[in-house]
Copies of this chain bind each other. A is one copy, B any other.
Amino acid sequence: MANEWATFGADLHLELRGPRLRAGLMDALREAVRSGRLEAGTRLPSSRSLAADLGMARNTVADAYAELVAEGWLTARQGSGTRVARRAEPRRAGPVRAEPRRAGPGSAGSRTTSAPPTLSLPRTSAPAHNLKAGTPDLASFPRAEWLKAYRRALTAAPNEAFGYGDPRGRIELRTVLAEYLARARGVYARPERIVICAGFVHGLMLMGQVLRARGVRDVAVESYGLGLHAGLLTGAGLGTPALPFDGRGTRVEELADGDAGAVLMTAAHQFPLGGALPPDRRAAVVDWARASGGYVLEDDYDGEFRYDRQPVGALQGLDPDRVVYFGTASKSLAPGLRLAWMVLPEGLAGEVVAAKGAVDWACGAPDQLAFAEFLASGAYDRHVRAMRLRYRRRRDQLVAAVAAHSPETRVSGIAAGLHAVLALPPGTEQEVLRAAAWHGLAVQGVNQFRRPGVPATLDGLVVGYATPTDSAWQGALRSLCRVLPQEGPGDHGRDAP
């Protein structure tokens, strides 16, 4: 999820343009205070950083802050920054709160977040920092380059591109993708076997329907992963038994003992634990699929981002007839484009296309054509290269900061991707997450990704270092260091809460 600050801009986008820019921002802030979304005492981001996040001029934000201070909504005090004034109780339905302190503008400036409370309950207001994994740095979306590709694509598009389309997606995009995937990910792809879909979730939903219709009952999953994905499979009527996990990754050899018809894997970069499936297990899972007639569903969500050596190629190259490859632009470019792709074994392509429907209702043709142009022009490669350098720098800063502030904390899963795992002393994950919530840091623990039934043997934080904007990154990192266990005997071996 994007950080909450940016959401203000979104909610009032139409007012946030042209002469009404400042007024729109002021309305958004007033409404946020009025509704209780911004609690009294909450410190606002600096005008510089909010301006950067919203793509506005800094003066516009500074002026809006100044006017809201004058109106009594906000307070500004040297050294304390701009905060929400104690002004009026939120207009909420439900029982009246005890002692709603309706204070006038004059009483503003009190600081409610300066001292920790005795009960360490998570704060309900929007987090100030976001290190949840799964989203790239949205401020880095290459607007100008994308626009250029869109303009070229729209100008060159044949008229029929504006009509009802092939359910597989535009042939132009599938043609360029086939070439790109072969080159960059070692995928064996022919355009007619590629199906464009609106994000990985759309593809997985279709695949779940097809497998279920074929009589498959179970799709095995990894011990740790996104509940949303397993939920799409169970929603299609499939069971999702979790494969066990050891220090070398997912124990795919256990597939032989079950009767799963397919297995969903993040083979190149396990999500969220971060490792690559070792070569013998890559071979083993493909052998299983061949021997059993099963399928490997390869979720190659961030295959482009590997920092210390060449990317691990896709599993799909080992057996294009038994591996369904899923790729996406959500991590490399932006989730908001809703662009992803499947490369299907010949035996499945027809059924998936039929499940998608007679009409391609997934992605608008102009965006598909723009993406084709973006890929073909080399802009995609350039963007990925630039982001790889940027994320690598953040990763190095994360490793260095953790080493300095919490030397006992091991950082793993750092060879690739947009997130790392910080191992915590046994039983401390919940405690650290509560501290993070108190400090306004949105971050998740590894156990939030643990599949039901998998024993809890790991404690750790999943840190999405790509998520913040550049202006928010250093603050988020400092906030993270604050909640990590500090060196000292008292911090080790604490009981789980």
Contacts and interface: CB of A to CB of B under 8 A. Distances in A.
Interface of A: 1-3, 6-7, 9-11, 13-14, 16-17, 53-55, 134-135, 138-139, 141, 143, 146-147, 150-151, 154-165, 170-172, 175-176, 197-199, 201-202, 228, 330, 334-339, 357-367, 369, 372, 376, 469
B362 A160 contact: no
B13 A156 contact: yes
19 contacts: A6-B158, A6-B163, A10-B171, A13-B157, A13-B170, A14-B176, A138-B160, A161-B336, A162-B335, A198-B362, A201-B357, A228-B358, A335-B359, A336-B364, A336-B365, A338-B360, A338-B361, A361-B362, A362-B362
A171 B10 CA distance: 7
Nearest to A161: B336
Contacts of A359: 199, 201, 228, 335
A13 B201 CA distance: 28
Contacts of A201: 357, 359, 361
A345 B175 CA distance: 43
A366 B336 contact: yes
A338 B164 CA distance: 9
A81 B334 CA distance: 50
A415 B267 CA distance: 59
Contact of A160 (B6, B14, B134, B364): B6
Given A53-B158, A338-B365, 18 more contacts: A2-B159, A6-B163, A7-B158, A10-B158, A14-B376, A141-B159, A143-B155, A143-B157, A147-B155, A150-B154, A161-B336, A162-B335, A162-B337, A336-B366, A337-B365, A362-B362, A363-B364, A364-B367
B334 A163 contact: yes
A230 to B, nearest CB: 13
A16 B155 CA distance: 12
A366 to B, nearest CB: 7
B338 A362 contact: yes
A207 to B, nearest CB: 14
Contact of A138 (B134, B163, B339): B163
A194 to B, nearest CB: 14
Contacts of A163: 1-2, 6, 135, 138, 334-336
Contacts of A159: 2, 6, 9, 53-55, 138-139, 141, 469
Nearest to A146: B154
A171 B135 contact: no
Given A10-B171, A11-B171, A163-B135, A16 B158 contact: yes
A172 B9 CA distance: 10
Contacts of A10: 158, 160-161, 170-172
Nearest to A150: B150
Contacts of A162: 138, 141, 334-337
Nearest to A202: B361
A157 B12 CA distance: 11
A12 to B, nearest CB: 8
B175 A14 contact: yes
Given A156-B16, A160-B10, A363 B376 contact: no
A9 B158 contact: yes
